Amino acid sequence: MEFNKVQECTAFLLEALKHNRPDEGHLQTKVFEINLMSAPNVAEGIFKLNLFTQYDREKVAKMCE
């Protein structure tokens, strides 16, 4: 993220978090935060794929508003 590599960071996290484990909820939230700020269409695509269920829904919902 330090070098503004949003696409690469997102791709890495999607692969790393593919098992949707409860202990990774904070990272799932981060994926949405990163993409809602810089690439909302990517965030929407991730939502549509229904890959994650452990993220902080309240925090992400506030960002979507």
Mind listing the pLDDT tens digit for each residue in 7-51? 999 999 999 999 999 999 999 999 999 999 999 999 999 999 999
Per-residue confidence band for 4, with pLDDT thresholds at 50, 70 and 90: confident
The whole-angstrom separation of Cα 19 and Cα 40 is 23
The whole model's pTM is what? 0.89
> Encoding tokens for residue 48?
């549509």
Reduced to 3 states (helix: H, G, I; strand: E, B; else coil), residue 62 is: helix
User: In the predicted model, is pLDDT for residue 1 greater than 80?
Assistant: no
The whole-angstrom separation of Cα 26 and Cα 22 is 9
The whole-angstrom separation of Cα 16 and Cα 13 is 5
